[in-house]
Amino acid sequence: MRNFSKKAVLTTLFGLCGFVLNLQAQTCSCAGAPLVSSQSGGTVGKGAFLIGYTFDYKNISDLYSGSEELINNTVERNTSTSLLELHYGISERVAVTTTLTYVNKFRETGLHLGNSSQKLRTTGVGDAMVLVKYNVHPQTVFEQYQVIFGAGVKAPLGESSMRNNGFLLNADMQPGTGAWDGVLWLYSSKTFPGMNTELFMMNSFRYSGTNERFSSDDRYRFGNEFVTSAGAGGSIFRDISYRMAFRYRTAASDTRNSANMPDTGGRWLSASPALISPFPFLENASVQLSGNIPLYQYVEGTQPSISYTLSASLFIGFGGEKLVGITDF
């Protein structure tokens, strides 16, 4: 039983952190942290507690006009985000996931001028998200698939009116969005033990609220966002696993007082390979390294877009015998 529990914990950890893929960057249409696209898959059972820490680095220096990549020799941007995920199982089927973020945004402009470029860095606590997950169909030894539904809110903990020397910064340099958003989330997976393979799919939808960017009668709204990802995972060697996912994300244009903001919104398709391994220094812990490879993007107008993403995650589980959604490979 003890051996089973350990494998169960590790498998669940892999399942969760395998989805910490952060496939999509903020384009210049988005402020804050990449919360929706960074949610882990799976859930935890009653009394189980799982902590995850992810460091995510996005280079956003490509420039696109529609689906055409342009040569960008003027601006370089990147965003690094620390995400702290706390999963707790309230009952066998219901769990709560809280995600806190800390955001570091960097922008360098005027690169074409040589040594007179201007750098701007903003850092701060980003927005947070709370999801309540309901395990519609828990995975068992006999029925090796699961369906988990979640709903929650994104809370505007991050600052969205940051100023530099008194001047209000652009929305895309703000750590937070300043708006309450509603989030729907759906995760499903099926395991094929004989093939050492798990297939999974995760969908999330964020309905954006509005913020008062310039004044109390000013309504800025980031575009709604839908993310769907699907892929497969399995064991490679001993306890080391892989994940390979394809993700499609679409974001509507931002609006200000109901008018579409230019150069916001678009569609992105990307692939994200990941390697997951037990963390040798802690029991019931795993680490993941993942990357992101953009495959296709269509942006409204002309926008900076993601060049690549690198992520590293550490997950630590507690109360493993109560984890659900496990698969003994």
Partner 1 sequence: MGTRISITLTIILLLFAVQCSSVSTNSDSENQNEEENSVWSIPEDKVFIGQGRDGIASIDDPKFENTEDIDFINEDDLITAIQIGDDIRGYPNVILNYHEIVNDRVNDVPVAVTYCPLTGSGLAWNRVVNGVETTFGVSGFIYKNNLIAYDRETESYWSQMLDRAVAGSMEGESQSNYRLIEMTWKAWKEAYPNGKVLSGITGFDLNYTLFPYGDYRTNNNNILFPIEREDDRLERKARTHGIFYSQNLIVFPIYAFSDEGTVINSKYSGEDVVVAGMAKDELVVSYSRELDDGTTLEFMQTDRPLPAIMEDQHGTVWSVFGQALSGPRQGEWLQQIPSYNSYWFGWADFYGTSPRTPVIQIP
> Where does this chain bind partner 1 (CB under 8 A)?
49, 51, 53, 63, 65-66, 68, 70-75, 82, 84, 86, 100, 102, 107, 109-110, 112-113, 116-125, 159, 162-170, 173, 214-215, 218, 253, 256-263, 300-302, 316, 318-319
Shortest gap between Cβ of 55 and partner 1 (angstroms)? Answer: 11
Rounded CA gap, 25 and 272, in Å?
13
Rounded CA gap, 40 and 164, in Å?
34
Shortest gap between Cβ of 33 and partner 1 (angstroms)? Answer: 13
Shortest gap between Cβ of 109 and partner 1 (angstroms)? Answer: 4
Shortest gap between Cβ of 238 and partner 1 (angstroms)? Answer: 26
In 3-state terms the chain splits into helix, strand, coil percentages (rounded to 5) of: 10, 55, 35
| CB-nearer residue toward partner 1: 4 or 214 | 214
Rounded CA gap, 266 and 249, in Å?
8
Are 221 and 212 spatial neighbours (Cβ–Cβ below 8 Å)? no
Shortest gap between Cβ of 104 and partner 1 (angstroms)? Answer: 9
Long-range contacts formed by 296-299: CB under 8 A, 24+ apart: 296/67, 296/267, 296/268, 296/269, 297/64, 297/67, 297/266, 297/267, 297/268, 297/269, 298/64, 298/66, 298/67, 298/266, 298/267, 298/268, 299/27, 299/64, 299/65, 299/66, 299/67, 299/263, 299/265, 299/266
Shortest gap between Cβ of 181 and partner 1 (angstroms)? Answer: 21
| CB-nearer residue toward partner 1: 65 or 224 | 65
Rounded CA gap, 3 and 6, in Å?
5
| CB-nearer residue toward partner 1: 76 or 198 | 76
Q: How far is CA 268 from CA 3, 72, 211, in A?
A: 42, 19, 25
| CB-nearer residue toward partner 1: 113 or 195 | 113
Shortest gap between Cβ of 258 and partner 1 (angstroms)? Answer: 6
| CB-nearer residue toward partner 1: 97 or 146 | 97
| CB-nearer residue toward partner 1: 3 or 116 | 116
3-state secondary structure of 279: coil
Rounded CA gap, 99 and 85, in Å?
4
Are 124 and 105 spatial neighbours (Cβ–Cβ below 8 Å)? no
| CB-nearer residue toward partner 1: 3 or 215 | 215
Q: How far is CA 218 from CA 158, 171, 211, 221, 250, in A?
A: 19, 14, 8, 10, 25
Shortest gap between Cβ of 224 and partner 1 (angstroms)? Answer: 18
| CB-nearer residue toward partner 1: 107 or 133 | 107
